[in-house]
Amino acid sequence: MNEIPVTMTVNGEDRAATIEPRLTLADYLRSECGLTGTHLACEHGACGACTVLVDGAAQRSCLVFAVQAQGAEITTVEGLAEAPGEPTAVQRAFEDCYGLQCGFCTPGFVVSVTAFLRDNPEPDDREIREALSGNLCRCTGYGGIYAAVRQAAAELAEAQGGAS
């Protein structure tokens, strides 16, 4: 068989497997790691539902072969919160602002927005809209999603101000 061993860290846990090179990181996370929060829709990079952090950078996990993640540190939507029942500011904001409708696209949005606000803590309207353009919501729930980004940004700014 054309299979290759691969090791990586997923949500802080060391993982090892022997897999076919054509297995995408998205399918690896779902089928080998049981982390089904990473959603797959278009499977060619257009929709963003499968977004995860690869060494901290938000990427489409359907456009990375799992063998390419050898040695990488992966964070999925399941790994964002510090503990079960303690959602992050971004996750709370999506709930508060009705930033999810059917919820299918939500993991990708939450991961993308988490990375976006980490790198740009005080975004303006245009920057938020551009950042959100990489994820599709077929329910067209963008109003709530946009509001969630605003709320999360304000909350994170306040937390930072309080900490300094």
Partner 1 sequence: MKAAPFRYHAPSTVAEAVDLLTEHGDEAKVLAGGQSLVPIMALRLGRYGHLVDLNRVDGLRGVEAANGHVRVGAMTTQSAVEHDPMIADRVPLVAAAAPHIGHFQIRNRGTVGGSIAHADPAAELPAVAMALDAVMEVGGPEGAREVRAADFFTSMWTTSLADNEILTAVRFPVRSELQGFAVSEVARRHGDFALVGTACAVSVDGGGVVTDAAIALFGVGPTPVRAASAEEALVGTGPDADLGEIGRLALSGVDPNDDVHASGDYRRRAGAAIVARALGTARDEARGGRS
Q: Which residues bind partner 1 (CB under 8 A)?
A: 2, 4, 20-22, 24, 27, 43-45, 48, 51, 54, 57-60, 62-65, 67-68, 70, 112, 115-116, 129-131, 133-134
Q: How far is the CB of 141 from partner 1 (least distance, A)?
A: 16
The whole-angstrom separation of Cα 64 and Cα 24 is: 6
Closer residue to partner 1 (CB): 22 or 158: 22
Q: How far is the CB of 88 from partner 1 (least distance, A)?
A: 19
Q: How far is the CB of 87 from partner 1 (least distance, A)?
A: 22
Pull the structure tokens for residue 99: 């930033």
Closer residue to partner 1 (CB): 68 or 88: 68
- For residues 49 and 32, the answer to whether their CB atoms sit within 8 Å is no
Closer residue to partner 1 (CB): 7 or 133: 133
Q: How far is the CB of 2 from partner 1 (least distance, A)?
A: 6
The whole-angstrom separation of Cα 76 and Cα 129 is: 23
- Token pair 């998205």: residue: 26
Closer residue to partner 1 (CB): 57 or 83: 57
Give the closest residue to 151 by CA, choosing from 120, 117, 109, 119.
117
Closer residue to partner 1 (CB): 10 or 64: 64
The whole-angstrom separation of Cα 48 and Cα 58 is: 10
Q: How far is the CB of 162 from partner 1 (least distance, A)?
A: 28
Report how far apart, in Å, the C-alpha atoms of 5 and of each of 2, 36, 72, 73 are.
Answer: 10, 22, 14, 16
